Amino acid sequence: MKIASVEQFFPRHRTRLVKITTDTGLDGWGETTLEGKPESVGGAVRELADYLVGKDPLRIEHHWQHMYRSAFFRGGAILMTAISGVDQALWDIAGKHYGVPVYKLLGGAVRDRIRVYAHWGIGNLSDETQAASRERLDMLLKRGYTAFKTGPGGKWRGHEPPAVIDEFVECTYLMREWVGPDVELAFDFHGKMTPALAIEICHEIKDMRPMFVEEPVPQENVDALKLVSDHVTFPIATGERLLSRWEFRQVFEKQAAAYIQPDGSHAGGITELKKIANMAEVYYIHVLPHCAIGPVAFTSCMHVDAVIPNFLAQEQVDWALGGDILRENWKVVDGHIELPEKPGLGIEIDEQAISERAPYREELGGEHFYDTDGSVADW
């Protein structure tokens, strides 16, 4: 069996797919979505395809090593996202070839279902916002979710006046009031804070007992992250912008975070996500894989979630359940998703639907954020 072709599809916002087909007719799907860089990964996938066509798709580790190491420059968001999608597709082919779900090739499941958490929050204290938030919460609670994540919106400077901080803090306590003590609440700071501001806000919200605060500071400086962790009494999480075991190493060694959040479509695919999780286990660090993109990425994460003992919960956005991409959407019951039972990733792409759709076009260069004085602000 040899790889015959590598195709790419761009069916919708935050969903970029790669399909690898073999000369036996088996195919596999992966996701190569890179937020803010809608065109960049496509070129990297075409470069990898030049190597892959004609190769045995079952030599997954060998191909991963080649894609990562054979060029002089390693890593980076673009290459790692391309590798991730290819890796997912190769695992999908392998599972279909052997007739089993991917997680059975990874050592077998250590759990029977995958706990997921949804995005929900109270953006501000206006009556209109609270009403919309209440409606969404009621819908999610009916599905049995027991954990939610939100974050402070807008742009945050080195420090903000009390009114800005106080409104966010009040929203967090109102969320706790609405859901009670049996539901877990997490807050994503999106790396927008300085260490001092992050610590100040964490101290303000500690009494509502967050599940975690995610990316309180940008990802480049592990010592700054540890500074926050050392001054906060609840768990700190990070990792969606760290792209391999090597980039997580200092987080582990310095015990800079309680939880890590590697992204299965950015950190090297199924192959590398499992290795990162196994490495974290040594440090008693739990894993909450990041996934704010499409259903193939989400499904790939769940196969790793099934086999790692230090899994805590899987991030899930609404459209990751399938939307108009999968022929059969994932179903959330009691806040969990049952393990896939079909071979490979266990999903079927509605290829006719995505092929007939014009490729989705996003604005090149991504979004633009500026402070009131005209200086560049973080996303």
In this structure, what are the phi and psi dihedrals at residue 15, rounded to the nearest 5 degrees? -150, 105
pTM given for the model: 0.96
Q: What is the CATH topology of the domain spanning 104-342?
A: TIM Barrel (3.20.20)
pLDDT at 140: 97
Kindly name the residue from 286, 290, 303, 336 that is annotated as catalytic: 290
Q: Is residue 11 classed as helix, strand or coil in its secondary structure?
A: strand
Rg (CA), the chain: 21
Which pLDDT does position 82 carry in this prediction? 98
Residue 290 designated active-site: yes
Distance CA 318, CA 204 (A): 30
- Domains of the chain by residue range: 3-101, 104-342
C-alpha span between 252 and 258 (Å, rounded): 9
CB neighbourhood size of 272 (10 A) = 24
| pLDDT single digits (tens) 11-43 | 988 899 999 999 999 999 999 999 888 789 999
Is 190 labeled as catalytic in the residue annotation? yes
**Chain centroid offset of residue 163 CA:** 32
Given this model, what pLDDT does residue 198 score? 98
Q: Distance between CA 298 and CA 316 in Å, rounded? A: 7
Task: Report the alpha-carbon distance of residue 72 to residue 89 in Å, rounded.
Answer: 25
pLDDT at 359: 73
Topology at the third CATH level for domain 3-101? Enolase-like; domain 1 (3.30.390)
One of 190, 266, 286, 368 is an active-site residue; which one? 190
In the block, which residue shows the tokens 């700190």? 236
Taking the chain (379 residues) in runs of 10, the rounded mean pLDDT of each run is: 97 92 98 90 96 98 97 94 98 98 98 98 97 98 97 90 96 98 97 96 98 96 98 98 97 98 98 98 98 97 98 97 94 96 97 78 70 87
The answer to whether 3-101 and 104-342 have equal CATH topology is no
